[in-house]
Structure 1
Amino acid sequence: MHPAWLILLASLWIATACNVPLWRELLRLPELDNLRGLAFGAGFAVAIAAAVGALLTLLAWRWTLKPAIALFVLAAAFGAYFMMAYGVVIDTPMVTNVLQTNPRETLDLLNLRLLLTVLVLALLPLLWLWRTPVKRVPWLRRLFQNALLFIASCALLAGTLLLIFQDFSSVMRNHTQVRYLINPLNSLYALVDLASKPFQLDSNTLLPLGEDARLAPLPGKPARPPLLVLVLGETARSGNFALNGYGRPTNPKLAGEDVQSFRNAWSCGTSTAASLPCMFSHLGRQAFESRKANYENLLDVLQRAGLAVLWIDNQSGCKGVCDRVAQADTSNLKVPGLCEGGECFDEIMLNQLDQRIAALPAERRAKGVVIVMHQMGSHGPAYYKRVPAAFKKFQPECTSNALQDCAREQVVNAFDNTILYTDQFLSSVIGWLKAQEPRSLPAMLYVSDHGESLGENNLYLHGLPYSIAPDVQKHVPWITWLSPAFAQAGKVSTACLKQRLDAPLSHDNYFHSVLGLLHVQTAAYQPSLDMFRPCTTP
């Protein structure tokens, strides 16, 4: 077969069969529910095939053509599955998430439906491709033919877009999610964008932050140092917390504690890779996204102020946030009762915690200790794995990682069980902190990194672009617990905090609120973003 025919067949297959999520989304648009919409869809398919064909002609050489087609088809097949199954789209943050996924998270995504989809869309066509001999063309003639094909593909692309331009521009402007469904051009664009980041962002330079940081004496002049636990929730939805008005009893333990649950808190991103570095930054979401260089973060400032800082991770890492502080990884331990199936429940982070703290420098511990606990929390899609059997209260729950195969009630039950277990974990953290009161001033701040879709509008998981993501992927729980001694020493009124439970908050407030809570003085601190300041007296 002549290489040109292989390119044509591969381009048509990708533009049609591998773009089912795109065609499904276009069929939902009311403005395309007519013959004109059908003509637009046909023209759009031709445009996609032309664009893919143009790219493939650049790689249409003897040793590269079949591998290039295989790569395109495999990327399209995997992309099609995840877009169909979970309603996600593929953009730069999503590709970043994929590249940072560890083997355990990958296993959670494997299922029979994925294998069947890839088999039909990729493996069978590629088997045919590999068994098809390609006509050998002298390299000079192939160069001429490739150039001709490239020009023809570009001309076809331009001509088709001109014919459908009015509808094309309207759809792209009014339904921005569509541009992230064009398969596999979405993945290729995201990879190119990711590769260009070093040219947009100086990732080799880490700018210092808070070099003037120092601990101010607490107003109450206590004799004990502060002990603050920062719990980083994973994929928790604010709306599924009973403390925030949810109709189910997902917070029986916290309901008996003197906590403040803020109901109007919003994330910096819709994925861990986006939110975690952003919430520990001093920049705020918009400035963080447009930054030209990386800065040190909250943990660096706390450590520079003289505090002992420890990061405990029960998930997939800190995304660079904890690189310069003491760390402990509990995710791969093998403690009976706390670990099973190759991962550990979140309460493992309390195991041997006293010994971990004792290993920190004594001169820093004397000034205060900050512990960050990064939960496994509600990490999907295998929610059922995150919860010990004793906390599977809501039944029947979805016990599959193919969420679309379960009734939505089962998906919600599995997710709510993770919130119930998070309630148990946070209560256990508070219980441990109370036991430390003779030696320290304990407090806890719990904030989730982002939310989650549980089947609303056929969307699952998270990671949609922030501008089009539903609120459930951005609306996060934010819970504080201050011991009476901590509140008294810091002159923080918990009664005042309870009057501000509906005050707007976001991850932009996190950096400055932690500094304010610990009375760390630095030029990087912005009092207007400190959520505790309105309730703190001098």
Structure 2
Amino acid sequence: MSRPHIAQYKELLKSYTHYVENAPSTITASSSPIPTIVLIIDESTQRNYMGLYGYPLPTTPRLDILKENGNLVAFNNVIAPHSHTNLVLEKLLTFHNYENAQTPWYKQQNLMDILKLAGYTIHWLSNQEVVSIYGNAPEVISTRADITRFSTISDSYSAGKAYDEILLSLLQQVRQNEQILSPNTEAQSPQPSKNFYLFHLMGTHLGYDGRYPKSFETFNIDTLKQYNLHTLTPYPHTSSTILNPRQLQ
């Protein structure tokens, strides 16, 4: 059986590993006093449905509290470079951008190795597939992490069946293993360890009703009608076409 996505993964991995390990040392990263950095890639999340950005329903209560307390900055004038995962993460996690598009992403430096230069241990925790039929930029870049963990070893058709909270148990396992391997690291060293954690979520991919447990079911069809959110045109606009019960669900 032909599996071109696996061949693509192997070729990209070979090309990128060769580039990173042989690239001239033109980039340096100064030491950072921040002990822990966390990056959460929450795929397929639409800001138009987030209370944080003005959606009429309180869909982001915890983020709202963080913002009110001054612990969260909501960026308003940001535009994604693409609408698909692979093309976005080619640019999000490397120096690849619109201005230097003639140079492939796998011939440019990446966030993982830059943070290594700054003294961080890199952890990549993912609820997505190990190899993807949709493109393998994030999967290849994940190999540059010091510690990589996937919630399941699955293909693109079965990935993401587990809720994203499974990554919290992966994090706990990783931290427990680190304590077993080096229980007195910080006590013996004047420089405490520094860690970068990247959580790659499934986000709101697939059927929304499969992305959260029933105990989290807060809103229903009547809620959407009450807030005039039951038409075909997405918020903040409305249309004369009313969604049927199945569509509303």
Short-chain TM bin: 0.5 to 0.7
User: What amino acid does structure 1 have at the position aligned with 2:49?
Assistant: N
1:350 Cα deviation from its structure 2 partner: 0.8
Which one of the candidate residues 103, 119, 123 is aligned to 1:291?
A: 103
1:327 alignment partner in structure 2: 148
Question: Relative contact order, CA 8 A, sep 6+: which one is greater?
Answer: 2
One-letter identity of the residue aligned with 1:245: G
Deviation (angstroms), 1:211: 5.7
Deviations 1:103-151 (A, max 9, x none): xxxxxxxxxxxxxxxxxxxxxxxxxxxxxxxxxxxxxxxxxxxxxxxxx
**C-alpha deviations, 1:387-414, integer Å up to 9, x for none?**
11122323249xxxxxxxxxx949999x
Measured in 1, the distance between the counterparts of 2:95 and 2:86 equals 17
Consecutive unaligned residues in structure 2, runs of 5 or more: 131-137, 223-228, 240-249
The one of 376, 396, 415 aligned to 2:202? 376
Task: Provide the C-alpha distance between the structure 2 equivalents of 1:392 and 1:234, rounded to a whole number of angstroms.
Answer: 20
Deviation (angstroms), 1:299: 0.5
| Distance in 1 (alpha carbons) for counterparts of 2:39 and 2:123 | 10
Tell me whether 1:228 sits opposite 2:33 in the alignment.
no
Query: Which shifted more, 274-283 or 291-300?
Result: 291-300
8 A contact 1:244–1:262 mirrored in 2: no
Residue 215 (structure 2) aligns with: 390
Q: 1:261 aligns to what SS in structure 2?
A: coil
Larger Rg: 1 or 2? 1
What code does the residue aligned with 1:291 have? T
- The residue type equivalent to 1:353 in the other structure is L
SS at match of 1:328: strand
What amino acid maps onto 1:267 in structure 2?
A
Give the one of 11, 18, 28 matched to 1:213: 28
Aligned ranges for residues 111-510 of structure 1 at < 5 Å?
Answer: 205-207=18-20, 208=23, 212-216=27-31, 218=33, 226-257=35-66, 258-287=71-100, 289-292=101-104, 294-317=107-130, 318-325=138-145, 326-331=147-152, 343-360=161-178, 366-380=192-206, 382-396=207-221, 409=230
TM-superposition CA deviations, 1:162-215 (whole Å, max 9, x none): xxxxxxxxxxxxxxxxxxxxxxxxxxxxxxxx9xx99xxx77852437664344
With structure 2 as the length reference, what TM-score do the two structures score? 0.64
Over 3 Å counting, the alpha-carbon distance change for 1:263 and 1:203 in structure 2 is same
Relative to structure 1, the CA distance from residue 203 to residue 372 in structure 2 (aligned partners, 3 Å threshold; closer, same or farther) is closer
Give distance in 2, aligned partners of 1:203 and 1:324. Answer: 10
Alpha-carbon distance in 1 for matches of 2:80, 2:193: 31
Give the superposition deviation at 1:281: 0.9
1:285-340 Cα deviation digits (max 9, x unpaired)? 342x321562231111112322111000001243311112110111469xxxxxxx
Matched-pair contact (CA < 8 Å) for 2:129–2:150? no
Superposition CA RMSD, Å: 3.9
Q: Distance in 1 between matches of 2:4 and 2:74?
A: 34
**Which structure features the higher share of helix residues?**
1
Contact 2:121 2:196 in 1 (8 A): yes
Post-superposition shift, 1:233?
A: 1.1
Structure-2 change in CA distance of 1:273 and 1:296 (3 Å): same
| One-letter code aligned to 2:210 | K
Paired residues in the alignment total 196
Give yes or no for contact 2:30–2:118 (8 Å, CA) kept in 1: yes
Q: Distance in 2 between matches of 1:412 and 1:349?
A: 34
> Which range moves more in the overlay, 240-249 or 341-350?
341-350
Identical residues among aligned pairs (%) = 21
Kept in 1: contact 2:29–2:117 (CA 8 A): yes
Aligned residue type for 2:28: A
Q: Which amino acid aligns with 1:377?
A: G
Query: How far off its partner does 1:268 sit?
Result: 2.1
Is the CA contact 2:90–2:96 (under 8 Å) kept in the aligned structure 1? no
Q: Note the C-alpha offset of 1:270.
A: 1.2
1:477-499 deviation per Cα after TM superposition (whole angstroms, max 9, x unaligned): xxxxxxxxxxxxxxxxxxxxxxx
Counterpart secondary structure, 1:344 = coil
Distance 1:412 1:252 in 2: 25
Q: Give the TM-score of the pair, scaled to structure 1.
A: 0.32
Q: Is the 8 A contact 1:332 1:342 kept in 2?
A: no
**How much has 1:250 moved relative to structure 2?**
0.8
